[in-house]
Amino acid sequence: MRSDAVRTPVKCAPQRSLMHALGMTDEEMKKPLIGIVSSYNEIVPGHMNIDKIVEAVKIGVAMAGGNPIVFPAIAVCDGIAMGHKGMKYSLVTRDLIADSTESMAIAHAFDALVMVPNCDKNVPGLLMAAARLNIPTIFVSGGPMLAGRFAGHKTSLSSMFEAVGSYNSGKITLDELNEYENKACPSCGSCSGMYTANSMNCLTEVLGMGLRGNGTIPAVYSERIQLGKKAGMKIMELLEKDIKPRDIMTEDAFRNALTMDMALGCSTNSMLHLPAIAHECGIDLNLDIANEISAKTPNLCHLAPAGRTYMEDLNEAGGIYAVMNEINKLGLLKTDLITCTGKTIAENIEGVVNKNPEIIRPVENPYSATGGIAVLRGNLAPDSCVVKRSAVLPEMLKHTGPAKVFDCEEDAMAAINDGFISEGDVVVIRYEGPKGGPGMREMLNPTSAIMGRGLGSSVALITDGRFSGATRGACIGHVCPEAAVGGPIALVEDGDIIEIDIPANTIKLIVSDEELAKRRAEWQPREPKITTGYLARYAKLVSSSAKGAVLS
């Protein structure tokens, strides 16, 4: 056991004395040390219930003969951080979470880990840590929020952000906005659509690192407590069999994840996180394969923001295993892979039924024949950019229009709110990438303001930043190379024509090569926006978003 390094009776008497200081008995010290990584806090709605999940995990571990020991992981609420300096600290926490978990796990010689995350950077950060540590590990999340109810229909956080734009343009009253505010987020849990947190929790099931229901069982259901107990018991089986994260998260497992990403219509942030997790597994997940996979993978789900169904609906329809079973009819999944259940994917999904073909479309009747995410390339984004195709209106799949260029999110928001954006425009927001931001802020406020003003069917938005999973519309992010390193997006000028063709996976700046060369010769790097603290260090170390924005 790894924990022998801190608990053998004579050699480790000093360490054991400190464990006695914790109130630990000799009997407990004879059992495997199981670290439970708790993301509980009192500021993130998706994490306020995690203490209950952690207690359930502790019971499960103890029932199966382990010694459960809790230590913390941080988490940022992207919704609360949105639209101000705080959003610069969202993506960067992914690496803090991975690094701190690695430090705690090795310093205290844990034999195995149960990760209890929930929100956007928390889940991938802990998956990165699991791959890096490569000791038996299982995930059980805090679960999704229930959908809100407003004016007789379900709603969610994405509707709340768009309601602000509707109010600013006079489409709804202040009383209606206040009612939205009080009804959009009715319970604890990760926000109720297929946003980034739920995308990553669902993909954790696909990767084989979480038990069935991990991505979809609502946070407030007692079944979530039961899942915590099951995860606590299951980790002891994984420890006994020595099944480790890199045994589970193979290259084929990541291809499965990309396939299911397309079928589910996950957040574009998955195109940042999957390569970063794969990197920790020693796998180069080249996004070039995303379009190859998308071309043969039908999109079966239209959860919010793409449609008006929510995680609770997907759960009732059979959850992620039901979608996997549907996709597997086409032979698109590698099913002989081992998972945290101790069984293969084929064994896990056998006999799982699609209980609602309106929520999970059969492969014979998909929302589209191709996947929910597209990777675009062209002279504006030579190294790639990403769009959630399933959340784009049909009339915006192809769009050509003049650029309105802004060097930060705040300037773009002011222009949108002041009515300076017109039908047909292409809003360009740059110097918001991993280095330029620094931190690669999400642009949910500008995209929601565009939708709320009724411009979603006529205005596109392009950025070297990124988008919330709650974003919908012709919103193209992760433009690489980013402006801060002199990427072509830094050379765009007001009035330049930009041509977007999502079905063809292309994005073009209609400016001659000679003119672009002239502009490049005149371009000068910007002074860093932040020169001290963690963000300054992050900006120096972070790679391109096309590589997952990993640290060098």
Q: Whole-angstrom Cα distance, residue 85 to residue 90?
A: 10
* Helix (H/G/I), strand (E/B), else coil: 167: helix
User: What is the 3-class SS of 378-397, one letter each residue?
Assistant: ECCEEEEEEECHHHCCHHHC
Given a contact cutoff of 8 angstroms between Cβ atoms, the answer to whether 209 and 200 are in contact is no
Task: Indicate the DSSP class of residue 196.
Answer: H
Q: Tell me the β-bridge partners of 378.
A: 381
| Amino acid letter for position 231 | A
Q: In terms of Cα–Cα distance, which of 257, 280, 155, 154 is closest to 199?
A: 257
Given a contact cutoff of 8 angstroms between Cβ atoms, the answer to whether 70 and 241 are in contact is no
Q: Whole-angstrom Cα distance, residue 201 to residue 303?
A: 15
Q: Whole-angstrom Cα distance, residue 320 to residue 152?
A: 28
Angle at 50 between CA 104 and CA 214, to 5 degrees: 95
Alpha carbon 380 to its chain centroid, in Å, reads 25
Q: Of 368, 468, 544, 545, which is the active-site residue?
A: 468
Q: In terms of Cα–Cα distance, which of 524, 530, 451 is closest to 490?
A: 524
| 468 noted as active-site residue | yes
Rounded to 10 deg, the angle between the 251-264 and 196-207 helix axes is: 140
Residues that are catalytic:
468
